């Protein structure tokens, strides 16, 4: 049986990969996909820890994370498409109207 | 870790997960990025099965790949002039790299030291053989001692998200 | 399988938060039958829901307890913060009625979303489990993303929504991963159970201390985004400037209250004993919050000096004020002071609520229908054209600086007191110095209004509703400032009653 630590390390790598994507990419959709990677990393860690502790709390937490991801994707993509309709660009650093 | 069937399958799924993740973060084409994301999500679903969480693996495939990833692809197609990108990274890429590297080191220290460093108390705890069946999860949701409240709030959250998405997306008059 | 009976769930305690959410859903349907030109009826109905929740909250506040077998705590802490949040929501509704009409975005869903996010904050105030905190945090955030973009297709508003969304989602991911690590270290997401596990971890058995520290660090970062502390503040000025002004006003108080409620409860209930090395007298997160508070105070106050737009100025000022609340959080890391510091944070939040909402209400009265007219130059000559409005704004500015006889002074007084009590002298000095710096930019607004020449804007649209909002916050600012015992008594027994209440 693979040790919990291996799963958690995998989750850490995936989480940092997602962080890197969020910080590095310009395109809003890709930034959003990177956030999904981060949430998945958290899910992986939660399930791995749930097996370690032998309770289902971690599994239930994953449910809520998935629910939230679904809610976020609905709002986020609506916003992205709305902004694309008025600007024809969804590059985050081209949000000129507000100086960053 | 010794080499048995478990660890080999684990290796395969980790490679799929991380490869997909890397592909998402570096892809030049948005559609490719979305497909890589699906690959990565699929890898996580496989790991869920290894972790004896078959129901979550099914949910992962149904909701994450079936709904979320597909929605993302819809969004990519609705903003389709963006599918090919010339300049993929933003201007503060060096700072981003440093911050991510820092975070990585920090987290690894937090995870690895407990494993190989002093106080390896975790090793004493053997992973349980518990398989979280659908029944267990369902009971835990309605069992008053557990997660009734967040379950209710989650339904509110979905309602709010639905209203919000309609507000943003509907035609302006 | 033993299901609990309804009475065991103690549903009565959740009435304030649940009734608001339920009323939001009902209002969504009622709104369909309200004609387009009479949407102020929806506003009144929404305000009625807030008043109902307020009364229910006062009743619950008298008789604290736990509901849902410990997942939901209705203690004085939550009750007090609920009062702050419900007042915020009420004033925000008053501010919205005319603003929505004159900017042409009058839609019933606005009030529905406002009630939803308010109930989310109330759930956060009471959440006693990381899963509840997380889902309530999202219920707080998701309607706010939409509200920030409510002026769409106006570009600045859309961009504010997108920026807030992306960084909010990023912050949530941090929070979840932190929660996962804490779950990994303790085996539970329930705060009272975590505290036991922390004790075992300190004794060197069971779980890993580093995992806990890492997890709490990530949670701190995730919530830091929500309350806008350095280095997680970058989104604040842009979002505050682009979002519709009443939404900005609500966000600047509501999101902070929710974030600090969760932060205080997680740190003080679950992790009070979490120390870096065994035998440390103070909690391990004290140094981290200390440093973040100092950075926030310095950066927020200094960058605010160079702002020329009142909404951006108030955004940086709100960052700075988050720093003052965080001072109290840091002070709470010293065991003997934690009750006093918690109280200080709550009083500060209430004082900040009145003052800041008032400042935004005045800024909104000056603002033109197209969203312009928020530059500091637009305040020139206001003292002559609208003397009363200008005088009230001056009081708000003095209160934000922390001049005696205003609410801001009381807030700062109790926070500094707690900080000194906790022995964080350097932080207290930084707090005092940055308060002096903040006088520069707050007083500049007053100078602009009374001493600079300008035509002002005699037509400034302080319509009846907005006037009521301004008077209400003005009264709150003065009453708190002159009779501080009112609120110090009210929050007298405020302690996180959690440990003793949970079975």
Mutate to test the interface with C, among A9, A57, A89 (most CBs of C within 10 A): A57
Asked whether residue A80 is domain-assigned, the answer is: yes
Using 50, 70 and 90 to split pLDDT, how confident is the model at B112? low
Res B117: pLDDT: 41
3-class secondary structure per residue, chain A: CCCHHHHHHHHHHHHHHHHHHHHHECEHHHHHHHHHHHHHHHHHHHHHHHHHHCCCHHHHHHHHHHHHHHHHHHHHHHHHHHHHHHHCCCEHHHCCCCCC
CATH code at position A53: 1.10.287.3510
HSE-CB of C494 using CA atoms within 13 angstroms = 24
Res A68: pLDDT: 95
Nearest chain A residue to B22 by CA distance is A17
- Which range (B120-124, C1-5, C430-434) has the least confidence? B120-124
Nearest chain C residue to B116 by CA distance is C208
Domain that holds residue A31: 27-93
The phi and psi torsions of B76 (rounded to 5 degrees) equal: -60, -40
Q: Which chain C residues contact residue A64 at CB under 8 A?
A: 131, 134-135
Q: Is the dihedral of CA A87, C251, C255, C291 positive or negative?
A: positive
Tokens of C463: 């319509």
Asked if A55 lies within 8 A of C142 by C-beta distance, the reply is: no
Asked if residues C227 and C256 have their Cβ atoms less than 8 Å apart, the reply is yes
Asked if residues A2 and B6 have their Cβ atoms less than 8 Å apart, the reply is yes
* Residue in C170, C173, C189 nearest the CB of A42: C173
Nearest chain C residue to B136 by CA distance is C1
CB atoms within 10 A of CB C101: 17
Mutate to test the interface with B, among A22, A37, A49 (most CBs of B within 10 A): A37
Judged by CB atoms within 8 Å, which residues 180-239 of C form the interface with A? Answer: 180-181, 183-184, 187-189, 234, 237-238
Report the Cα A20 to chain-centroid distance in Å: 11
Please, which residues have CB within 8 angstroms of residue B103's CB and are 6 or more apart in sequence?
Answer: A16, A19
Using 50, 70 and 90 to split pLDDT, how confident is the model at C503? very low
Q: Which chain A residues contact residue B18 at CB under 8 A?
A: 10, 13-14, 17
Chains with 3 or more CB pairs under 8 A to chain A: B, C
In which residue are the tokens 């009630």 written? C115
Asked if residues B13 and B34 have their Cβ atoms less than 8 Å apart, the reply is no
Using 50, 70 and 90 to split pLDDT, how confident is the model at B107? confident
Beta-ladder partners of B84: B29
Instruction: Determine which helix (DSSP H) or strand (DSSP E) holds C285, and give its type and residue range.
Output: helix C285-305
Sequence ranges of the domains in chain B: 5-84+93-132, 133-173
B43 touches chain A (CB under 8 A): no
Res B120: pLDDT: 42
Res C12: pLDDT: 83
B17 touches chain A (CB under 8 A): yes
CA distance B23 to chain A (A): 10
On the 0-12 / 13-18 / 19+ scale of CB atoms within 10 A, B124 is exposed
Using 50, 70 and 90 to split pLDDT, how confident is the model at C324? very high
Using 50, 70 and 90 to split pLDDT, how confident is the model at B173? low
Q: Which chain C residues contact residue B146 at CB under 8 A?
A: 69
Report the Cα A31 to chain-centroid distance in Å: 9
B14 touches chain A (CB under 8 A): yes
Using 50, 70 and 90 to split pLDDT, how confident is the model at C375? confident
The phi and psi torsions of C447 (rounded to 5 degrees) equal: -60, -45
| Cα–Cα distance, C388 to C380 (Å, whole number) | 14
Tokens of A41: 């990393």
Percent of chain C whose pLDDT exceeds 70? 92
Res C206: pLDDT: 54
In which residue are the tokens 């973060």 written? B25
Asked whether residue A67 is domain-assigned, the answer is: yes
Res B119: pLDDT: 42
CA distance C378 to chain A (A): 19
pLDDT in tens, C20-65: 999 999 999 999 999 888 888 999 999 999 999 999 998 887 777 8
Asked if B167 lies within 8 A of C109 by C-beta distance, the reply is: yes
Closest CA to C239 of C315, C322, C152: C315
Cα separations (Å) of C240 from A83, C426, C429? 18, 31, 29
Mutate to test the interface with C, among A19, A54, A72, A90 (most CBs of C within 10 A): A72
Judged by CB atoms within 8 Å, which residues 126-165 of C form the interface with B? Answer: 129, 131-132, 134-136, 138-139, 142-143, 145-146, 149-150, 152-153, 161
ipTM for the predicted complex: 0.93
Nearest chain A residue to C154 by CA distance is A86
| Averaged pLDDT score across all residues of chain C | 87
- Which range (A59-73, B77-91, B136-150) has the least confidence? B77-91
Res B144: pLDDT: 58
Asked if C184 lies within 8 A of A28 by C-beta distance, the reply is: no
Q: If you average pLDDT over residues C370-385, what whole number do you get? A: 82
Res C502: pLDDT: 36
pLDDT in tens, A26-46: 888 999 999 999 999 999 999
Using 50, 70 and 90 to split pLDDT, how confident is the model at C434? very high
| Cα–Cα distance, C498 to A72 (Å, whole number) | 31
pLDDT in tens, C106-121: 888 999 999 999 999 9
Res C292: pLDDT: 93
In which residue are the tokens 């609208």 written? C386
Q: How many structural domains is chain A composed of?
A: 1
pLDDT in tens, B8-54: 999 999 999 999 999 999 988 888 999 999 999 999 999 999 998 88
Q: Which chain B residues contact residue A4 at CB under 8 A?
A: 122, 127
A94 touches chain B (CB under 8 A): no
| Cα–Cα distance, A65 to A53 (Å, whole number) | 19
Asked if A83 lies within 8 A of C158 by C-beta distance, the reply is: yes
Asked whether residue A14 is domain-assigned, the answer is: no
Res C370: pLDDT: 76
pLDDT over threshold 90, residue C498 = no
| Cα–Cα distance, C502 to C186 (Å, whole number) | 18
Closest CA to C212 of C128, C297, C271: C271
Nearest chain C residue to B104 by CA distance is C214
- As assigned by CATH, the class of the B5-84+93-132 domain is mainly alpha
B93 touches chain A (CB under 8 A): yes
Sequence ranges of the domains in chain C: 6-501
Mutate to test the interface with A, among B72, B78, B144 (most CBs of A within 10 A): B72
Res A53: pLDDT: 84
pLDDT in tens, A68-99: 999 999 999 999 888 888 877 667 666 655 44
Using 50, 70 and 90 to split pLDDT, how confident is the model at C67? confident
Chains with 3 or more CB pairs under 8 A to chain B: A, C
Asked whether residue A55 is domain-assigned, the answer is: yes
């Amino acid at each position: 049986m693979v040790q919990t630590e291996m799963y958690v390390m995998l989750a850490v790598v995936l989480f940092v990969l997602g962080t890197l994507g969020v910080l590095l990419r310009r395109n809003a959709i890709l930034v959003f996909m990177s956030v999904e990677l981060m949430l998945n990393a958290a899910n992986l860690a939660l399930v791995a820890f749930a097996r370690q502790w032998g309770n289902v709390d971690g599994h239930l937490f994953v449910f809520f994370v998935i629910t939230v991801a679904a809610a976020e994707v609905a709002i986020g993509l609506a916003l992205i498409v709305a902004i694309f309709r008025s600007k024809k660009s969804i590059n985050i650093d081209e949000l000129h109207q507000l100086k960053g | 870790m010794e080499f048995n069937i478990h660890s080999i399958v684990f290796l395969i799924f980790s490679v799929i997960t991380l490869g997909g993740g890397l592909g998402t973060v570096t892809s030049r084409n948005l559609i490719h990025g979305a497909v890589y994301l699906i690959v990565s999500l699929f890898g996580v679903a496989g790991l869920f099965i290894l972790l004896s969480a078959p129901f979550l693996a099914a949910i992962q495939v149904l909701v994450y790949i079936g709904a979320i990833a597909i929605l993302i692809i819809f969004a990519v197609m609705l903003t389709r002039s963006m599918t090919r990108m010339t300049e993929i990274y933003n201007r503060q890429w060096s700072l981003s790299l440093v911050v991510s590297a820092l975070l990585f080191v920090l987290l690894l220290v937090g995870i690895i030291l407990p494993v190989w460093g002093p106080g390896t108390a975790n090793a004493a705890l053997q992973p349980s053989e518990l398989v979280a069946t659908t029944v267990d999860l369902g009971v835990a949701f309605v069992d008053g001692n557990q997660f009734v409240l967040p379950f209710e709030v989650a339904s509110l959250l979905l309602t709010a998200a639905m209203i919000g998405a309609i507000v943003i997306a509907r035609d302006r008059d | 399988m033993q299901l609990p009976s309804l009475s065991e769930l103690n549903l009565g305690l959740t009435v304030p938060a649940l009734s608001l959410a339920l009323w939001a859903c009902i209002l969504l349907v009622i709104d369909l039958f309200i004609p387009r030109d009479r949407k102020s009826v929806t506003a009144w109905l929404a305000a009625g829901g807030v008043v109902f929740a307020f009364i229910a909250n006062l009743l619950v506040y008298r008789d604290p307890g736990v509901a849902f077998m410990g997942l939901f705590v209705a203690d004085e802490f939550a009750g007090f913060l609920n009062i702050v949040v419900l007042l915020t929501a009420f004033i925000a509704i008053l501010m919205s009625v005319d603003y929505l009409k004159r900017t042409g975005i009058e839609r019933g869903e606005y009030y529905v979303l406002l009630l939803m996010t308010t109930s989310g904050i109330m759930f956060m105030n009471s959440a006693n489990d990381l899963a509840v905190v997380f889902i309530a945090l999202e219920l707080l955030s998701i309607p706010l993303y939409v509200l920030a973009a409510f002026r769409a297709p106006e570009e600045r508003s859309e961009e504010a929504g997108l920026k807030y969304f992306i960084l909010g989602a990023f912050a949530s991911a941090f929070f979840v991963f932190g929660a996962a690590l804490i779950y990994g270290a303790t085996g539970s997401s329930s705060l009272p159970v975590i505290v036991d596990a922390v004790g075992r971890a300190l004794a060197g058995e069971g779980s890993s201390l580093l995992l806990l520290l890492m997890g709490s660090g990530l949670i701190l970062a995730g919530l830091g985004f929500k309350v806008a502390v350095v280095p997680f503040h970058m989104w604040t000025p842009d979002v505050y400037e682009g979002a519709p002004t009443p939404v900005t006003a609500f966000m600047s108080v509501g999101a902070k209250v929710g974030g600090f409620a969760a932060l205080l409860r997680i740190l003080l209930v679950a992790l009070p004993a979490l120390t870096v090395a065994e035998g440390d007298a103070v909690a391990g997160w004290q140094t981290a919050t200390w440093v973040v508070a100092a950075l926030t105070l310095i950066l927020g106050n200094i960058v605010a000096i160079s702002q020329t737009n009142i909404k951006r100025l108030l955004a940086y000022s709100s960052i700075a004020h988050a720093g003052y609340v965080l001072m109290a959080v840091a002070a709470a890391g010293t065991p003997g002071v934690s009750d006093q510091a918690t109280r200080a944070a709550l009083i500060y939040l209430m004082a900040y609520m009145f003052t800041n909402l008032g400042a935004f209400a005045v800024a909104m009265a000056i603002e033109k229908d197209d969203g312009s007219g928020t530059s500091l130059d637009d305040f020139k000559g206001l003292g002559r054209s609208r003397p009363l409005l200008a005088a009230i704004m001056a009081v708000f500015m003095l209160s934000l600086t922390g001049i005696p006889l205003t609410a801001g002074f009381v807030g700062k007084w109790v926070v500094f007191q707690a900080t000194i009590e906790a022995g964080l002298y350097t932080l207290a000095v930084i707090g005092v110095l940055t308060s002096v710096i903040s006088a520069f930019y707050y007083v500049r607004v007053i100078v602009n209004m009374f001493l600079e020449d300008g035509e002002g804007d005699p037509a400034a649209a302080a319509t009846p509703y907005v006037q009521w909002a301004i008077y209400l916050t003005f009264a709150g600012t003065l009453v708190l400032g002159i009779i501080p015992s009112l609120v110090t008594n009210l929050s007298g027994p405020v302690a996180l009653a959690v440990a003793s209440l949970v079975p």
